[in-house]
């Protein structure tokens, strides 16, 4: 992937479909400054998407961090997605945005993003996953799977049972999320997961590259 050439919508969707490890980046998931941990994770060669998730900074600070993360992602051939801040996607050259249930409605996010940028939506059960495509989404995040210390959970984590229920009805890529680590990802793989979204499980690892590779390897055996 040429880091200096904007991607088409089809190219972005092909890269998304090939992604097995989707990395959620922010001070909460990394426990502080994240640049070094992200660079090490990307050096693994298995991270296909990076999402910038910074809920508590202003737009100017977010844009600066998105620029840094975007350069790291591009150099590694990964896509850049913004959490929520749909209005900033074009300004920082992001490949898309991800919205949760308390963010901009998916239909409005799609209108702002246009047809060529990716839209992800957060889902919590099989019915929401099955409906995601009709909302204009390109992919779904599914969770929470396991307990996590990086955000407050409004729902009980349901792990492999949630994955096993939701994947059969999915019409788009689904990334299980929430407390995933190299130690527990095998349970999701056994339930049918072939891709996951992960934050602290990679970024807080002693060796982020090794953690990312371990997760990818577990998914490859499903």
Supply the residues annotated as catalytic. 53, 122, 151
Burial class for 211, CB neighbours closer than 10 Å (0-12, 13-18, 19+): buried
Rounding to the nearest 10 degrees, give the CA dihedral for residues 216, 185, 12, 53: -120
| Helix, strand, coil percent content, the chain, rounded in steps of 5 | 40, 15, 40
Picking from 213, 89, 65, the residue whose alpha carbon sits closest to that of residue 198 is: 213
Q: How many CB atoms lie within 10 A of CB 90?
A: 12
d(CA 115, CA 58): 27
**Helical ranges in the chain per DSSP H:** 9-18, 27-30, 35-42, 59-75, 106-113, 126-132, 159-166, 185-190, 200-203, 208-220
């Amino acid at each position: 992937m040429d880091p200096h050439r904007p991607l088409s919508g089809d190219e972005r969707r092909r890269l998304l479909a090939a992604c097995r490890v989707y990395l959620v980046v922010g001070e909460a998931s990394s426990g502080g400054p994240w640049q070094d941990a992200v660079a090490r994770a990307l050096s693994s060669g298995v991270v296909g998407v990076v999402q910038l998730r910074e809920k508590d900074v202003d737009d100017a600070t977010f844009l600066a961090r998105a620029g840094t993360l975007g350069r790291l992602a591009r150099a590694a051939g990964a896509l850049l997605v913004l959490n929520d801040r749909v209005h900033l996607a074009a300004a920082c050259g992001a490949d898309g945005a991800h919205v949760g249930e308390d963010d901009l409605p998916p239909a409005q996010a799609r209108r702002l993003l246009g047809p060529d940028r990716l839209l992800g939506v957060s889902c919590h059960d099989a019915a929401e996953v099955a409906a995601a495509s009709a909302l204009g989404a390109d992919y779904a995040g599914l969770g929470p799977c396991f307990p996590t210390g990086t955000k407050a959970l409004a729902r009980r984590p349901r792990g492999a049972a949630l994955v096993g229920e939701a994947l059969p009805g999915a019409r788009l890529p689904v990334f299980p999320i929430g407390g995933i680590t190299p130690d527990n990802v095998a349970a999701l793989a056994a339930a049918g997961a072939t891709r996951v979204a992960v934050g602290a499980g990679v970024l807080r690892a002693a060796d982020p590259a090794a953690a990312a590779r371990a997760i990818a390897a577990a998914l490859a055996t499903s």
